[in-house]
Structure 1
């Protein structure tokens, strides 16, 4: 199942990237989202993008790695530490220049803030037990919608940048999971 989801997300990120490559303007979906958030108070928009702030997300990454080490899961700790960082690096140094989508003199596709947030959420989803996965599966999409609206309202990104970032991050983390097998520990309830 992981391979199918990873491939599907990679395809979505690629197709969105090709659709908007080099384009400096919003598509219809982007324009519609911008019209929805037009006039929202800046404080609300800033609060919506808070989960993507580096100091928020980067606090979760070492916490996940330490948790894995404390539960005798060294491969999971390596995965928790590497997956978000590699996703951000590939996004920044390969995908953004490749797709060449600009907004306000900045490369914006896929959204780097979205990549780090979603990569971290997918890492947590993979590492936790079944009950906690259900929480992440509900909270994650809600956060993503909030982030998309906040980014659009602040003028940082188009919502298609956010969608592409989410798709790429999911694909990248799941692909890396295939390269770093899950540590199996019955006492922590981890199952893949």
Structure 2
């Protein structure tokens, strides 16, 4: 199900670095209700105040809302089941769900707020779309038998594209600070690969031994 061992090591190191980044940013902005210097600079370049960009941001944001997220997950799960890959379906649901769940646990611990006290760090929307893209890329890489380099490029590229798109939407709409989006992206990078490893290990453990 997962890519070869060399890529798993790469994913593990990336996940560890991402987890460290989540902690560092959480401590740095704990209890604050204002943007930092980096946030201010990035927000000024987001361009969400233009009508056409705002419409695009709203459409992207919808993909992280409960209804939009459910539709996306259902579509991917349906594809997995049609291909007779039930474990892949479990992997997608678990990876996306646990990534979002992690952001919900971290938010009250960090205590960072935006707009009348709404908890903002890390971004759950960004974590969701990043995790979903990462899980799909992992499945594709494993199915195609991509090596460490090819698989890593596919997974990182998918995670980066999805995280950048949703992160931009959250920033453009003023729903999150840029560092919130970065925290959400890193949360997915830390949680999703670990979830994939756990699901694979659990499935392998439950498989009867051949004699």
- What TM-score, normalized by structure 2, do the two folds share? 0.75
Partner of 2:176: 157
With 134-143 and 80-89 compared, the bigger mean Cα shift is at 134-143
Q: 1:36 aligns with which of 42, 45, 64?
A: 45
Partner of 2:106: 95
Partner of 1:187: none
Partner Cα distance (2:80, 2:48) in 1: 44
Equivalences for residues 71-86 of structure 1 within 5 A: 71-86=83-98
Partner Cα distance (1:137, 1:175) in 2: 15
Partner of 2:59: 50
- 1:83-141 Cα deviation digits (max 9, x unpaired): 2112212311x111111100012000001111111111111111114589666654543
**Would you say the 8 A contact 1:111–1:161 is kept in 2?**
yes
1:75 to 1:4, Cα distance in 2 relative to 1, 3 A: same
Partner of 1:12: 21
- 1:4-33 Cα deviation digits (max 9, x unpaired): 111111111111111111111111110001
Which contiguous aligned blocks of 4+ residues in structure 1 show a shift greater than 6 angstroms? none
Partner Cα distance (2:160, 2:58) in 1: 13
- 1:49-82 Cα deviation digits (max 9, x unpaired): 5334233333221222232233332222211122
Unpaired runs of at least 5, structure 2? 1-9, 205-211
Equivalences for residues 88-127 of structure 1 within 5 A: 88-92=100-104, 94-104=105-115, 105-127=117-139
With 114-123 and 44-53 compared, the bigger mean Cα shift is at 44-53
- The size of the alignment, in residue pairs, is 183
Q: Does structure 1 residue 181 correspond to structure 2 residue 192? A: no
Partner Cα distance (1:39, 1:65) in 2: 32
SS at match of 1:128: helix
- What TM-score, normalized by structure 1, do the two folds share? 0.82
Partner Cα distance (1:112, 1:179) in 2: 22
